[in-house]
Amino acid sequence: MRLTPVQVGNIQIENNVFLAPLAGYTNYPFRRICKRYGAGLCYTEMVSGKGLKYGSENTEELLYTDGQEGICAAQIFGSDPDILRAACEHEKMQPFPIVDINMGCPVPKIYKNGEGSALLEDPRLAENIVRECVKSGKIITVKFRIGITDKTLITTEFAKRMEGAGASLITVHGRTKEKIYAGEVNFQEIAAAKRAVKIPVIANGGVFSNEDAEKLMAETGADGVMVARAALFDPQIFCDLTGKARTSRLKMFEDQLKWTEQVCDERFTVVFMRKMAAFYVKGTRGAAAFKERLFRAQTTEEILSIAREIWKE
């Protein structure tokens, strides 16, 4: 796809291929891997504004970074403007010049709590959240869906409101809350958002190849694309989108495991890297048997041994 820089507030992002915030996955080591393979901007996992304001240890752990990954955006969620501003101003947010407000999460417990995609039904509150968070001095961006259902599409109005409230960039997931992650991406709604605002618009949904990205850009006129689930199966999809050379899958896995060990305890590293290996092995001959062995592994040494067997150099 055609690569261009993206201006987000006063920061220029080197290219227009972004890694989406993925709950449970986009921790520091995974972001660093994706950045290596070409992602222009990576997002943290979704972080609770309340959890951050009130000192939740687990919440703060989601914001770990050591500065080696370059510019990174933190994503927060909530529904109280004052709490979200306080979250933006929290000391743990200092390494993140860009803060994204989640207004698209379709998970029932988030939605029922008035957060995530529920904010699509209360655009005035969504505006107030952005206005308040802008006061923190952070560059504020917003990720949202095109509506709750196909009968309640709000993309154009919502995009204008976010820009008017001070957002420096919006990411539009071209599906409704009702469709979760399934179904066709609505190119027309993303295109409508792009026509409605002057700030950059990133298109999200259905990118699993360079061809998908090119089609999404062509159909929507967006300024860039955001890659989500495809990166879980193959972080080197960013090579395909940016023209970087791929490396061996084993090298990728070894480095991710090493970086995870450096910042996380043994138990987390084992559980997390078993999950990642299960994603990466998809399509490999004997994948089912390898997965069974992986999920019995109890140490990083066992996982690494199995990985070396899977991806023989």
| Structural contact between residues 155 and 146, judged by C-beta atoms closer than 8 angstroms | yes
105 given a catalytic annotation: yes
| Structural contact between residues 5 and 39, judged by C-beta atoms closer than 8 angstroms | no
Catalytic residue among 42, 105, 133, 264: 105
Q: Distance between CA 284 and CA 88 in Å, rounded? A: 43
Strands (E), the chain: 6-8, 11-13, 17-19, 41-48, 72-77, 98-103, 139-145, 169-173, 201-204, 224-227
Q: Distance between CA 3 and CA 262 in Å, rounded? A: 33
| Structural contact between residues 136 and 106, judged by C-beta atoms closer than 8 angstroms | no
In the structure encoding, which two tokens stand for residue 298, read together?
Answer: 């109890």
Catalytic residues: 105
